[in-house]
Amino acid sequence: MQHIYLKKKIVLQFYIFRMKKILITGGAGFIGSHVVRLFVNKYPHYDIYNLDALTYAGNLENLTDIDQKPNYHFIKGDIVNGEFIQKLFEEHQFDGVIHLAAESHVDRSIANPMEFIFTNVVGTVNLLNAARLIWKDNAERKRFYHISTDEVYGSLGETGSFKETTPYRPHSPYSAAKASSDHFVRAYHDTYGLPTVISNCSNNYGPNQFPEKLLPLFINNIKHSKPLPVYGKGINVRDWLYVEDHANAIDTIFHFGRDGETYNIGGNNEWRNIDIIKKLIEIVDAKLGRPAGTSLPLITYVTDRAGHDLRYAIDATKLKTELGWEPKIKFTEGFEKTVDWYLANEKWLDNVTSGAYVDYYHKMYDNK
Ligand code: NAD
Ligand code: TYD
């Protein structure tokens, strides 16, 4: 098994060096920016095109350390615009697509589901159509990689974990839209032979996450001594993976995953919300030089999220045995790094929360 894997790896390495143009969608977002950075630095012979609409969640400041590199290109554009996407693919003739662009926040999907259907479903199908058209005569050594979530599988009870074969049972408009996009990706593989691969990952944490998600929101609130709104009883369980581990898994699957397959990605790191919140309070208080327990009274139990999934857990055996991937960053290390990053990057937090980022964008791109 290991022998076949190595042989395959050598053959694939040969193809890798011939691949030139990779489109990464949503590269200005949280996970996308880590993927773009990894690819730009690790593969100088690839041209990396970052396509992003720069919604509230997209932020070019996430990429200032690599945006002057010759193999990095930014394109501002909306994947919902099918005509634009078609032209873009015809112009650039991409060899590979790593698709992360999405509306990604469950609470927003409850408030406004249509945005999620447009971007996550229609946007994904636009990309599939464009890839299908430019690769119709030769799909060899091409790859359409769709990044998805474990939330498509629905909710677990106290035990068990999601496998790649677990039936889809999404509960939120976000996860329903992601599930729908996964189905289209699989359908384009089965119907048209499009060389696709999908991965479903658990909750990511790390630098550059928009402060509407649990951890960055709570770090910011602890810092400003604002209430910490815990949904329901705080007993929901999530599996947490450091974002750079996810980016490395994406690199592995993009290059070595098998066409038509799905891979689950997880951190083997389950936490009840209330426990991870208490851990966060402990660390942030200590780093801010406050006495232990100072911020515990900020915990405020609020009305539960509608349709709130109780528990997510991932069985990532397939990814480990087939492609040799495992998470590398220990939780204590990743968690400390995350807190340090948000505390050190006050300006980043202020910018994304104040709307000052729009000014940055105009300054950077209006005259280009
Ligand atoms: P994010 O919200 O931080 O970033 C999304 C990016 O997509 C932003 O840069 C945004 O500007 C861009 N975008 C949104 N709509 C667009 C459109 N119509 N056209 C072009 N660009 C558009 O999201 P994230 O947390 O980085 O998630 C990235 C992907 O990973 C998503 O597909 C998400 O479903 C998936 N995922 C996320 C997690 C997680 O914990 N965050 C876990 C598993 C899977
Ligand atoms: P979130 O970061 O929104 O990720 P997801 O919903 O995709 O898992 O939320 C993580 C968990 O934290 C989830 O169970 C909902 C809960 N939560 C709160 O209790 N309060 C909050 O203010 C937020 C944003 C989330």
pLDDT tens digits, 174-220: 999 999 999 999 999 999 999 999 999 999 999 999 999 999 999 99
**Separation between Cα atoms, residue 185 and residue 190, nearest integer Å:** 9
Question: Which of 214, 220, 311, 314 should be mutated for ligand 2, with most atoms under 8 A from CB?
Answer: 214
Q: Which residue has the higher pLDDT, 1 or 58?
A: 58
The H-or-E segment that residue 199 falls in is strand 196-201
What's the CA gap between 44 and 71, in Å, rounded? 6
Residues in the chain: 368
CA 31 to centroid of ligand 1, rounded, Å = 7
Cβ atoms of 194 and 131 closer than 8 Å: yes
Give residue 46's pLDDT: 96
3-state class (DSSP) for residue 75: strand
Average the pLDDT over 259-271 and give the result.
98
pLDDT for 101 equals 99
Give the ligand whose atoms come closest to the C-alpha of residue 209: 1
Amino acid in the structure at residue 35? V
- What are the catalytic residues? 150-151, 174
Q: Identify which ligand lies nearest to the alpha carbon of 301.
A: 2
Average pLDDT in the chain: 93
The pLDDT-based confidence of 256 (bands split at 50, 70, 90) is very high
